[in-house]
A = this chain, B = another copy of it.
Amino acid sequence: MDVDPRNPESVPVFEGDIQQPQAISVEETSEIAGEVRELVRAGRENAAWELIRHLHPADMGSIVASLPRPSREALVHVMSPETVAWMLRQMNPVVAGRVGTRLGAQMLTFVLSQIHPNQALATLRQIPTLRPQKVAESLAQPLVAEEILSHDPDTAGSLMATQLPMVDTNGLAEEARESLRTLRENRDKLTHVYVVQGSGVLVGQVGMVDLALADDTTPIRTVASSIVATVTVDTPAEECARLQHHYNLTQIPVVDGNRLIGVILSESLLSATVEQDTRQMQQVANVAGETVDGPLSSSIRTRLPWLTVNLGTTFLAAATVALFESTLTQVVVLAAFLPVVAGQGGIGGTQTLTLIVRAIALGELVGVGARRLLAREAVLGILHGVWLGVLVAVIAILWKQNLGLGLVLGVAMLGNMMIAGSVGAGVPLFLRRIGVDPAVSSAVVVTTVTDVFGFLLFLGIASASITLIT
């Protein structure tokens, strides 16, 4: 469908259809963002708004969020508060959270105070990263903060929608339809109607396809199926993401005891998955929770503690080297090869670590014994070490015309690659066993160990065989 998104007349329109805007590519979005920026800078906010008003709210949001603060505020003032709130509600929750944060609590409060409290609440609920409680309290007419706002942002409680269709287990398909019809929010996003008994005890579900195919008079029991997984408000978001992925679920009911109290929709589950993956990737580099465009102070708060911890660990490496000062004085060329041994060990260890951390997160290590994994990575380390050891020895011999140096370097390389494999696998497996998230702190431990042992091996062997080298 080659349709110009900015010319909605070219899109086929259906009766009673709110015009669905078309997807555009990242490049097109960037291009339009540039034009919008120019227009707003020239004081032509209305022209800028005309340019984006027919876009998909997800693209509209990206563009608004990309503007520098004064332009952003000028543009938001041209859009109606209802439009801004609608845009946030239509976007992927994680991205909406980012845009909301970019807008700032003040602008958001302004937007939300202009619209109906129910809409404001629904919007706030879409922005899980913003600690909505704070914004809710700062509104001129404080919202009746529903319990949902009190849940931790990383739990099922904060992801769930509380309005959902239910039908009694003795009911008919007609009643399930009625319950769908009376729903005010999220109606289009539901894939199941839940089957309950008595005072809301969850006993099953009816898929939307089965409901679509059922006659009004079909008893619900005959089209219902049982539930694969339920969670409670305290279930971590990452466990919800795992359940979705592992069991192919489109939505997960939230229960309190046996009672159905909410549902996590597919879009929230997907956002939880993507968010969790982002966090995991960032945790290995110790930058978790940061965005590329947030305030400097938050970046410093995230990164500096780890940089400082790491400084401590590099001094461990420095102290190891310092142990061998007299050897280095005799053969100063050894200093040049320090980064070779340590660097290779660090890279090898990180490769192993990354694989294991990700496999743990995806639940792929079921029944795969820790001992088997450790042995596997150690063997790989030896195989890599043999190749790299020979290579490094040959290069050193050719470069420095020093056979002894080459041999020492080769042996140290072999030893350190074996250590890198074992430690790269052992540290995350050990952390998981003692209940610590291996993504958070494995990297710093692994590189410290490979640095220290790499130097110990290299300089230790060199000292022991100093007559070979000098």
Contact = CB atoms under 8 A, between A and B. Distances in A.
Interface stretch (A105-113, A154-162, A272-280): A272-280
A297 B224 CA distance: 48
Interface in A347-386: 347-348, 350-356, 358-359, 362-368, 373, 376, 379-380, 383-384
Interface residues of A, number: 154
A381 B332 CA distance: 32
Q: Which of A177, A212, A303, A356 has the most CB of B within 10 A?
A: A212
B270 A245 contact: yes
A98 to B, nearest CB: 7
Contacts of A332: 325, 328-329, 332, 335
Given A281-B277, A367-B34, A344 B14 contact: no
Contacts of A293: 364, 368, 373, 376
Given A180-B213, A222-B16, A245-B270, A447 B311 contact: no
Interface string A274-318: 100110111011110011110010011001101110110111011
Contact of A367 (B30, B273, B287, B365): B30
Interface in A22-64: 22-23, 26, 29-30, 33-34, 37, 56, 58, 62-63
Contact of A292 (B92, B95, B329, B364): B364
Given A318-B337, A335-B338, A340-B311, A296 B351 contact: no
B14 A226 contact: yes
A39 B88 CA distance: 54
Contact of A58 (B209, B247, B285): B247
